[in-house]
Amino acid sequence: MNPYANILAEESSPYLLQHKDNPVHWQTWSNATLEAARLSNKPIFLSVGYSTNHWCRVMANETFSSPAIARELNENFVCIKVDREERPDIDDIYQTGHQLLCGQPGGWPLTVFLCPQTLYPFVVGTYYPPASNTVQLGFADLLQRVMNFYHGDSEQYRSMIQQVRLGYDQLDNHLQHPVSSDLFNLEPAQIAVRNLLQEADPQHGGFGDAPKFALSFQLQRLMLAGREETLLGDRARHHLHLTLTMMARGGIRDVLAGGFFRYSTDSSWSIPHFEKMLYDNAGLLAIYAEASKTFKSQLFAKTAQGIASWMVADMGNGYGAFFSALDSDSERGEGGYYCWQTEELQQLLNNIEYRVMSILCRWEGMPNFLGLWHLQVVGRVNDVVEELGIEVKSVHQIYRRALSRMLTARRRRPSPERDHKILCSSNALAVRGLAIAGRLLQDETMVNAAIDCLDFISHNLWIDGRLYATWQEGEAKILGFLDDYVYLMDAILESLETHWRDQDYRLIIELADIVLNNFSDPDSGALFFSSDEHEQLIYRSKPIYDRVTPAGNGIAAKVFARLGNLSSEQRYLDKAEMILSALWPSIELQPQLHDSLLQALVELKFPLVQVMLTGPDAGIWREQLVSKFINRVHCYAVVDEVDPEEESDTLEPTRALLCIGSDQQDEIETYDVLEHAISIALAAQPLTTGERVQ
């Protein structure tokens, strides 16, 4: 029997279970635990993380496994462990506390010490080693400092708590005075693109220096700006193409199995941090699919197909949904699952395969990652042709054969652990990505995967008129948050464009009504992250900034604008306007932090052309429109079931209803006329960024 077993052994969260054998007397976040802390007057030590994070695992294995540290914690603190993916509301509040106290973002593991009476944070940090070293304070010394502060000058302690309380109270000051929609203009959208391009790396793509993240909403901002024939549009289009190319050819992409790692540790996208997150890949799937059509790029199409293949093959739970993340660590160490010894490669590949791959992957000199080779295709086919004198076709055949051998060999290794939670928000992003990619690439496998995942959510996470945030071991847990609802609404809108189903339309209406009724701030009109039915914490945040995923209020404003035009329901358009009115001061102040809100602004002021198709050829017409106009038109094909024995001459002709915003045009019965009408409508649309080239 393990003498250190604690209450976390009873949990289902992979992250909490990673700490079940710690000597720390971990508790879960509950009213009983918080009340015990209040009565004992012991400060709360709150530790927040997630299972696939490398430094969370290190802190669990080193710091929290120390008997000496555990004794100090158990005697003097009430220790609470939280999975940030199960309780994003708690994580969000205390990440905000880190920002208030330190003036900079936090991260994971998040280390927070709370006042037991008020639950306000008074000391915050992230990862700590067990003992202090020349570069970082150790956790043992941190505990001593926390105790000295907590039991020391009571006036100083009370003053600190009061300052933190005031900091939280002032967070929403900019939401107190919503502006009139008459003041909306597109200057912030122009500024956001210019500011983003000022950070552009002209050599390697992406933005800034290392570490480099591939944030899909930033790339989407460039994609939208690049649709316009302006100087700014040209710059956006060029940098988007450069970034997507360098990422696809870089080490941040898993060449063998598909998908992208979480971020690059260097500026050239060569060596990644080896986590794989579902939400990252879902966003990039949509971007690469659209870029493949915009730039007519086979590289981008193959990259999108690789992402989708990885999601289905490696992250699928067998019932249509997708697991949340894949760890960076394995038995071979961090990143070891993905990397190769030179001797391994020489034994695995035959002579010509090894020579070809050596040229393409530059296997020369010192290995590129801790004495191992991380696969990155930086060479060109012509390099192989010139050096080895073989035909281009042969190079491709040898390359594909070598990749197949390497993938087969890699799958025999002990794989990194998966976080087996099914997260509603991440799966909704997956539905959206698969629906967009399936539609643009005309890939039925992706379309079906999107439908299967949507069905899983509607059958397992939509229960008695409420959406749940997580599912594991056959059980839905925790009422859904704003992201769960609005990401799913966004996914359904994209799915309806790809494959219309009445049941999905009915579901989005139900979701919309719950958001309006349970998440709205009656004073500002913006939306809270938690609903009226959630536990009320020290602060009820309104997500307005895009972080690793888009801001909930930004996605909400976009989907309410789209849904209002689709359903002809003014209350949805009014809600989109209310959200933007409440957040307009923040948008004007920091446009570059509000990509999703800016997209909503453009869609509200200048709705895309909308086409409703009915009749036997509706699906064919939709495919032709999607191919020609890519994502510049919302096109829905509502096809009724037809009896195969029914005579074809009795069928109703295909018809199109063309709408621009709330303005409805006449029905059109000829495809050529429809295409011409759409082209005229698009040409008449005003610019959303930049200035026209004179």
Residue-range domains of the chain with CATH: 7-171 (3.40.30.10), 190-329+419-605 (1.50.10.10), 336-415 (no CATH), 609-684 (3.40.30)
| pLDDT value, residue 649 | 56
Write down the pLDDT at residue 144: 97
Report whether 491 contacts 435 (CB < 8 A).
Answer: yes
Is 682:225 a contact under the CB 8 Å cutoff? no
- List, for residues 417-454, the tens digit of each pLDDT value: 999 999 999 999 999 999 999 999 999 999 999 999 99
Distances (CA, A) of 294 to 184, 216, 495, 601: 29, 16, 21, 23
Q: From CA 545, how far away is CA 548, in angstroms rounded?
A: 10
Instruction: Kindly state the tokens that stand for 18.
Output: 């990673």
Per-residue pLDDT at 694? 38
Q: What is the pLDDT of residue 651?
A: 65
Residue numbers of the chain with a pLDDT score lower than 70 = 1-5, 176, 640-651, 662, 689-694
Instruction: Return d(Cα 132, Cα 139) in angstroms, integer.
Output: 7
What SS3 state is found at 560? helix
Rounded Cα distance, 198 and 192, in Å:
10
Phi, psi of 200, rounded to the nearest 5 degrees: -65, 140
SS3 at position 251 = coil
Q: What pLDDT is attached to residue 693?
A: 44
pTM surpassing 0.85?
yes
CA nearest 168: which of 122, 236, 131, 214?
A: 122
Residue 455: how many other CB atoms lie within 10 Å:
17
CA distance 512 to 485: 8
Q: Is the distance from CB of 637 to CB of 620 less than 8 angstroms? A: no
What is the structure's pLDDT at 684? 83
CA distances from 279 to 269, 430, 665 (A): 19, 7, 38
Pull the structure tokens for residue 116.
């037991």
Task: Give the pLDDT score at 646.
Answer: 56
Strand partners, 610: 634, 659
pLDDT at residue 2 in the model: 53
What integer pLDDT is reported at residue 221 of this predicted model?
A: 94
